[in-house]
Chain A
Amino acid sequence: MAAADGEIDPAQRLLNLMLALSRTRHRLTRDQIRASVEGYETAPAGVSEAERGRADASFERMFERDKKALRSMGIPLRTITDPAHQDDLGYRIDPDVDMPPLDLTVQDAAILAIAAQYWTSKAMKADARQGYAKLVSAVEHEDGPALPFGGVSTSGSADVVAALAEAASLRQVVSFEYASASSPTRVRTVEPWGIVLRSGVEYLVGWDVDAAAERVFRLVRVQGKVKPRGEPEAFDRPATLPLGSLADDADVATATIAVRPEAGHALRRRGEVVGADDGWDVLEVSYRHADLLRAEVLALAGAARVIEPADLARSVREHALAAAEVARG
């Protein structure tokens, strides 16, 4: 039985398609889907070739959209080829798509509601909202506790995150224009392995297909849209995401820094006062990244100076000289 009485809502058609494909024993072909699933127009009888062609094309477009919609909902639609008729594609949904029981409490739902509000960009917001609705489906409706917590992301690249998260989940290759620090803007083709979030900055770790190497991409540098390339399940993601340059594995060194009394509070908290020098307190501070420590000393605008190591001291002075030159023209 197919719909004869006009179009039904796309959501209802999708649900019918999902149910039909999840209960079929083997598979359903496109023709079977078109003939049996409520919501699709059957092939019209007794019309001209041209009209039939248009109806067929319209079904194909609708079915392609629906396949994509189900996949993007996290419902893997498997393509099953009949060994006897290779051209004759069939489809099935495996029975493992149900939400596993999580037995969430009202408190859990309240925490999730805060997390779901974190994203403000369109695509991430929709993903969070839909994930939240799925997770709290079975939680009994009660006024949850008003939790004094919150969060918000103002990131302009969060929708890039959403597109890459989808591609990484589907294991689909993507391409995007990327303006790197060191080379001209060009299109990168990447197997997206995983998103990394650190202090509000978003990264992608993946395999750069052209460079044939692991790469870390800073997502604020992605320009324009992320485009999927080819079919899902095109590669395997590594079990442990290699963090590359994001790994905090730099060696720890010690610097000797003089700070004015009542200044350099952050340095004092991390370091140890080891002496005094003509009205300055002398600290020993351990650090991993010289550029971060240099920025911290520079930011103190004369309330701190580097004693050791000498190359750090020199680099602080060089930065100040360069700044003075740019500022005075």
Chain B
Amino acid sequence: MADTSRDRIIRMLGMVTYLEANGPTPVAVLADHFGVSADAATRDLWALGTTGFPPYLHGELFDFDFDALDEGLAVLTESLGVTQVRLSGQEAVALTGALATLVAAGTAPEGAERLLERITGAFGGSVPVTVLAGEDGPSADVRQALAAAITAGRAVRLAYVDANDRRTERVIEPHRLVAIDGIGYVECWCRKADDYRTLRLSRIESADALTEPVSHAPSQARGFDLERTFEATVVLSRSARWALEDLPGAAVTVGDERATVTFGVTDPAWAARRLLAVAPQLVSVEPAALRDALARHADAVLAVQDA
């Protein structure tokens, strides 16, 4: 963690606030609470002892029992009536934006919504961030069943439709509900795949808790671990680049009329579907493997779709 002046001043005010609220506290606990080493916490406390109001005479400086501090115990004897400052706008955006994103994705812990309201309320209700629900949120039933099973340590039987529209029944051992770029997933051990999986919540049709306990520990790896099979380069008219620009790792070069997007492809069929959505705006598609997938998809549509 890069310790900036802002981090330090917030931490110093935080220590005064903490000690005022909770009384004498071992420096080690204070250090842990604010995520720094005991040495750094000790330096902060000593610095506070020479900080205060001009002209910095007795009673105008924060004061501690410095003998106790030498023994590793922080005892605040003069707080000057100073306390932690309110959130800045961008701090409020970062925290409430993340909390509201977790709520919208269906991956927020119990109590997150109320906490969000309290923080927003304390900020005067004017945090400049709005989080909108996506097109396909997860069903509340699925979410609740998974959250309950995770807490109870039970396996769950799912009906799941994958990205290629294949519907399967599978038994999973759910570990965590996570939001990745605003979309909700369950991290789990999948007994059908005999491997760890990250399954999109909105593709789960039903989730029924079983009585069997989970037998696999959560994976240490987070999120996806997708192997790229190749790198694709697509040229399309600039008005259509929305279809590709949010792909993870996509690089976009914009010209006057056209945009060039390069991105990693794991599943050519999946990439082909993405391209079909903006087909009239496509100029060129590389490599040939992606063109083949696109042609197959287009032919399959043309075989059934009358004009």
Q: Are B108 and A195 in contact (CB under 8 A)?
A: no
Q: Are B10 and A195 in contact (CB under 8 A)?
A: no
A33 to B, closest residue via Cβ: B54
Contact pattern, A 126-163, Cβ under 8 Å of B = 1, otherwise 0: 11111111111110110000011111111100000110
Contact pattern, B 110-154, Cβ under 8 Å of A = 1, otherwise 0: 011001001100100010111111111000000000010011000
Q: Could you say which residues of chain B place their CB within 8 Å of the CB of A246?
A: 132
Q: Are A303 and B307 in contact (CB under 8 A)?
A: no
Q: Are B47 and A134 in contact (CB under 8 A)?
A: no
Chain A, range 162-182, C-beta contacts under 8 Å to B: 162, 165-166, 168-170, 179, 181-182
Question: Bound complex: CA of A302 vs CA of B147, how far in Å?
Answer: 36
The number of inter-chain residue pairs (CB within 8 angstroms) is 416
Q: Distance in Å from the Cβ of A87 to the closest Cβ of chain B?
A: 24
Q: Could you say which residues of chain A place their CB within 8 Å of the CB of B292?
A: 327
Q: Are A108 and B115 in contact (CB under 8 A)?
A: yes
> Which residue, of A112, A243, A318, has the highest number of chain B Cβ atoms within 10 A?
A112
> Which residue, of A69, A104, A265, A306, has the highest number of chain B Cβ atoms within 10 A?
A265
Among candidates B176, B183, B273, residue contacting A200 with C-beta atoms closer than 8 Å: B183
Q: Could you say which residues of chain A place their CB within 8 Å of the CB of B305?
A: 297, 305-306, 313, 316-317, 320
> Which residue, of B11, B95, B222, B283, has the highest number of chain A Cβ atoms within 10 A?
B95
Contact pattern, A 298-324, Cβ under 8 Å of B = 1, otherwise 0: 111111111000000110111111111
Q: Distance in Å from the Cβ of A268 to the closest Cβ of chain B?
A: 9
Q: Could you say which residues of chain B place their CB within 8 Å of the CB of A119?
A: 94, 98
Known contacts A181-B238, A197-B132; A151/B21 CB under 8 A: no
Q: Could you say which residues of chain A place their CB within 8 Å of the CB of B209?
A: none
Q: Could you say which residues of chain B place their CB within 8 Å of the CB of A181?
A: 238-239, 241-242
Surface stretch bound by B, among A46-54, A55-63, A78-86, A288-296: A288-296
Q: Distance in Å from the Cβ of A227 to the closest Cβ of chain B?
A: 16
Q: Could you say which residues of chain A place their CB within 8 Å of the CB of B285?
A: 326-327
Q: How many residues of chain B are within 8 Å of chain A by beta carbon?
A: 131
Verify if B39 is at the interface (C-beta below 8 Å from A): no
Q: Are A69 and B5 in contact (CB under 8 A)?
A: yes
Among candidates B83, B129, B269, residue contacting A99 with C-beta atoms closer than 8 Å: B83
Q: Are A141 and B300 in contact (CB under 8 A)?
A: no
Q: Are A15 and B9 in contact (CB under 8 A)?
A: yes
Question: Bound complex: CA of A104 vs CA of B20, how far in Å?
Answer: 15
Among candidates A97, A126, A199, A323, residue contacting B6 with C-beta atoms closer than 8 Å: A126
Q: Are A201 and B282 in contact (CB under 8 A)?
A: no
> Which residue, of B29, B82, B181, has the highest number of chain A Cβ atoms within 10 A?
B181
B22 to A, closest residue via Cβ: A140
Q: Are B122 and A100 in contact (CB under 8 A)?
A: yes
Surface stretch bound by A, among B64-72, B99-107, B189-197: B99-107
Q: Are A115 and B102 in contact (CB under 8 A)?
A: yes
Question: Bound complex: CA of A207 vs CA of B153, how far in Å?
Answer: 51
Q: Are A199 and B86 in contact (CB under 8 A)?
A: no
Q: Are A301 and B280 in contact (CB under 8 A)?
A: no
Verify if A45 is at the interface (C-beta below 8 Å from B): no
Q: Could you say which residues of chain B place their CB within 8 Å of the CB of A324?
A: 294-295, 298-299, 302
Question: Bound complex: CA of A19 vs CA of B275, how far in Å?
Answer: 58
Verify if A72 is at the interface (C-beta below 8 Å from B): yes
Among candidates A38, A305, A321, A326, residue contacting B294 with C-beta atoms closer than 8 Å: A326
Q: Could you say which residues of chain A place their CB within 8 Å of the CB of B211?
A: none
Q: Are A19 and B33 in contact (CB under 8 A)?
A: no
Q: Could you say which residues of chain B place their CB within 8 Å of the CB of A212?
A: none
Q: Are B55 and A1 in contact (CB under 8 A)?
A: yes
Q: Are A305 and B304 in contact (CB under 8 A)?
A: yes
Q: Could you say which residues of chain A place their CB within 8 Å of the CB of B51?
A: 12, 15-16, 19, 38
Known contacts A12-B47, A129-B1; A198/B222 CB under 8 A: no
Q: Distance in Å from the Cβ of A222 to the closest Cβ of chain B?
A: 12
Question: Bound complex: CA of A274 vs CA of B34, how far in Å?
Answer: 60
Chain B, range 207-249, C-beta contacts under 8 Å to A: 222-223, 238-239, 241-242, 245-246, 248
Among candidates B9, B128, B241, residue contacting A165 with C-beta atoms closer than 8 Å: B128
Q: Are A141 and B126 in contact (CB under 8 A)?
A: no
Among candidates B97, B119, B276, residue contacting A195 with C-beta atoms closer than 8 Å: B97
Q: Are B87 and A149 in contact (CB under 8 A)?
A: no
Known contacts A116-B95, A165-B90; A295/B132 CB under 8 A: no
23 CB < 8 A contacts A-B: A11-B9, A16-B54, A111-B111, A116-B94, A133-B34, A141-B33, A149-B177, A153-B181, A162-B93, A197-B100, A198-B131, A263-B165, A264-B165, A297-B305, A299-B273, A299-B277, A300-B165, A301-B300, A301-B301, A319-B279, A319-B301, A320-B302, A323-B298
Could you list which residues of chain A lie within 8 angstroms of chain B, going by C-beta atoms? 1, 8-12, 14-16, 18-20, 23, 36-38, 69, 72-75, 97-100, 102, 104, 107-108, 110-112, 114-116, 118-119, 124, 126-138, 140-141, 147-155, 161-162, 165-166, 168-170, 179, 181-182, 184-185, 192-201, 218, 220-221, 237, 241, 243, 246, 248, 262-266, 269, 291-292, 294-295, 297-306, 313-314, 316-324, 326-329
Contacts A74-B88, A98-B84, A134-B85 known; 17 new A-B pairs at CB < 8 A? A19-B53, A111-B115, A116-B94, A148-B147, A149-B177, A162-B90, A165-B89, A168-B93, A193-B128, A220-B246, A237-B128, A266-B161, A304-B304, A313-B307, A319-B279, A320-B299, A327-B292
Among all A-B residue pairs, the 5 with the closest Cβ atoms = A169-B89, A74-B88, A302-B300, A131-B91, A200-B181
